[in-house]
C-alpha cells in the first residue's frame, strides 16, 4: 500500500467525519441534491460542464448545490448542509481542479456576521491538527484596501483605477487589457493585499462592493454594500458566504445581467434556473449560507503545496 495515499485517505475521511459531527451537534440536517440540472451557472466567471443525457437532452453538472439547497429551504427544511462533488470547466492549476469537494450550508435566521462566527468555530476544530491556535481577523473590504493602496474600492473612479494599475505595475503584475473594475479589484486583492495578511489566522473579509453581490442581499440603511464575506487562511480563500438574496425579481435581473455580460464577451449563454426562481417566488426564509472548499481546507491543515497533494486522484 502506498503509505502517502493511505494518509491522504485517512485525513480526508477524518475531515468529512468531523464536519458531520460538527453539524449534528447543532441539529443541522445533511441533505443530498442532484449533480445534474437543466440549468447552469450564469456567472461570467464560472463555466459549467454540459452533458447530453439520452432520455432528457442537454443537462449541466452543477458548479455548486446552492440552487437546489435553496429550493429545499423554501419547502421548510430548516438548517441544512451538504458535502458535494462539484464541477467547473476551465479551472485547473495549483489551487484549482475541474472537480472538487464542496461543503455548503445554510442557517435560517442568521445574517452574514453570525454565520462568520460559526465558520470560525468550524475552522478552529478542523484546522486544529495543523494550526492549534487559529487566530481571527475581521476586515471590511474598504479596510483591507485603504492602508495598502490609497483607494476607496467601493467608489472606484478613474483616479482610483489609475492608482490600482500603478500599484500592480510597480509590483510587476501584468494587468490584462479590457479588464473591468471588479476584476481589477480582485487582481489587486489577490496579489497585493492577501499575501500581507498574518499566517495561521482566519481572515474574514466582509462588506464587498454591491457590484460583487452575486446571490447576496444588499445591506439596507448603509452605504450600499453586499452582505457577503470570504474567509482566507494562509493566503488561500476557503469560503464565500452571503446573507441570501430573497427577492426573486432582483435575482432574475442579476441573472439576465450576467447573460448580457456573457453575450458581450462571446461566452456561451446557459439557461436560467427557472425552478430556482419559482422557489424564490414561493418565499426563501431569511437566511445566510456559505460554500467552503474541503480540498483547500485540507491543504491548509496539512501545509500542502497544492491541491494535488491532498487529492486521491488529481486531474
pLDDT for position 177:
81
- Does residue 71 contact residue 34 with C-beta atoms inside 8 Å? no
What the block records as the C-alpha cell of 307 is 491541491
pLDDT for position 292:
98
pTM score above 0.75: yes
Task: Give the 3-state DSSP-derived string for the chain, with helices as H, strands as E and coil as C.
Answer: CCHHHHHHHHHHHHHHHHHHHHHHHCCCEECCCCCEECCCCCCCCCCCCEEEECCCEEEEECCCCHHHHHHHHHCCCCCEEEEEEEECCCCCECCECCEEEEEEEEEECCCHHHHHHHHHHHHHHHHCCCCCCCEEEEEEHHHHHCCCCCCCCCCCCHHHHHHHHHHHHHCCCCCCCCCCHHHHHHHHHHHHHHHHCCCCEEEEEEEEEHHHCCCECECCCCCCEEEEEEEEECCEEEEEEEEECCCHHHHHHHHHHHHHHHHHHCCCCCCCCHHHHHHHHHHCCCEEEEEEEHHHHHHHHHCCCCHHHHCCCCC
List of residues 6+ apart from 75 with CB closer than 8 A: none
List of residues 6+ apart from 182 with CB closer than 8 A: 209, 211, 212
How many whole angstroms from its chain centre is CA 252? 20
- Helices 66-74, 274-283: axis angle to 10 degrees equals 30
- Does residue 200 contact residue 206 with C-beta atoms inside 8 Å? no
Give the architecture-level CATH label for domain 3-134+200-310: 2-Layer Sandwich (3.30)
pLDDT for position 1:
52
pLDDT for position 314:
85
Total length of the chain = 315
- Does residue 161 contact residue 181 with C-beta atoms inside 8 Å? yes
pLDDT for position 13:
96
Q: Between the CA of residue 129 and those of 11, 95, 138, 198, what are the distances in Å?
A: 10, 21, 23, 19
Q: Between the CA of residue 46 and those of 87, 90, 303, what are the distances in Å?
A: 10, 8, 27
- Cβ neighbours of 26 (radius 10 Å): 13
CA distance 8 to 186: 32
pLDDT for position 212:
92
pLDDT for position 238:
98
Q: Where are the domains of the chain?
A: 3-134+200-310
Per-residue pLDDT of the chain (315 residues; tens, 9 = 90+): 566 888 899 999 999 999 999 999 999 999 999 999 999 999 998 999 999 998 888 999 999 999 999 999 999 999 999 999 999 998 888 999 999 999 999 999 999 999 999 999 999 999 998 899 999 999 999 999 999 998 999 988 888 888 899 999 999 998 888 788 899 999 999 999 999 999 999 999 999 999 999 899 999 777 889 999 999 999 999 999 999 999 999 999 999 999 999 999 899 999 999 999 999 999 999 999 999 999 999 999 999 999 999 999 888
Amino acid at each position: 500500500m502506498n503509505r502517502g495515499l493511505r494518509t491522504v485517505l485517512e485525513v480526508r475521511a477524518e475531515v468529512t467525519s468531523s464536519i458531520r459531527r460538527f453539524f449534528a451537534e447543532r441539529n443541522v440536517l445533511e441533505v443530498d441534491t442532484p449533480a445534474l440540472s437543466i440549468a447552469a451557472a450564469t456567472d461570467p466567471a464560472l463555466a459549467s460542464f454540459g452533458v447530453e443525457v439520452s432520455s432528457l437532452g442537454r443537462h449541466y453538472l452543477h458548479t455548486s448545490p446552492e440552487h437546489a439547497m435553496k429550493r429545499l429551504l423554501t419547502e421548510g427544511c430548516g438548517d441544512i448542509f451538504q458535502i458535494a462533488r462539484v464541477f467547473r470547466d476551465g479551472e485547473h492549476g495549483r489551487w484549482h481542479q475541474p472537480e472538487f469537494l464542496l461543503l455548503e450550508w445554510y442557517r435560517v435566521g442568521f445574517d452574514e456576521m453570525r454565520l462568520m462566527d460559526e465558520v470560525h468555530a468550524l475552522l478552529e476544530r478542523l484546522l486544529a491538527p495543523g494550526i492549534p491556535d487559529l487566530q481571527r481577523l475581521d476586515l471590511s473590504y474598504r479596510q483591507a484596501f485603504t492602508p495598502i493602496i490609497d483607494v476607496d474600492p467601493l467608489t472606484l473612479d478613474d483616479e482610483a483605477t489609475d492608482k490600482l494599475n500603478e500599484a500592480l505595475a510597480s509590483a510587476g503584475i501584468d494587468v490584462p487589457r479590457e479588464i473591468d473594475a471588479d476584476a481589477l479589484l480582485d487582481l489587486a486583492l489577490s496579489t497585493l493585499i492577501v499575501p500581507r495578511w498574518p499566517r495561521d489566522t482566519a481572515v474574514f473579509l466582509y462588506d464587498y462592493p454591491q457590484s460583487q453581490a452575486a446571490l447576496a442581499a444588499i445591506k439596507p440603511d448603509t452605504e450600499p454594500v453586499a452582505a457577503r464575506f470570504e474567509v482566507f487562511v494562509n493566503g488561500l480563500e476557503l469560503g464565500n458566504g452571503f446573507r441570501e438574496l430573497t427577492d426573486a425579481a432582483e435575482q432574475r435581473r442579476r441573472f439576465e445581467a450576467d447573460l448580457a455580460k456573457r453575450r458581450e464577451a462571446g461566452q456561451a449563454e446557459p439557461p436560467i434556473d427557472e425552478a430556482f426562481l419559482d422557489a424564490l417566488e414561493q418565499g426563501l426564509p431569511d437566511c445566510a449560507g456559505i460554500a467552503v472548499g474541503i480540498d483547500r481546507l485540507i491543504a491548509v491543515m496539512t501545509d500542502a503545496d497544492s491541491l494535488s497533494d491532498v487529492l486521491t486522484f488529481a486531474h
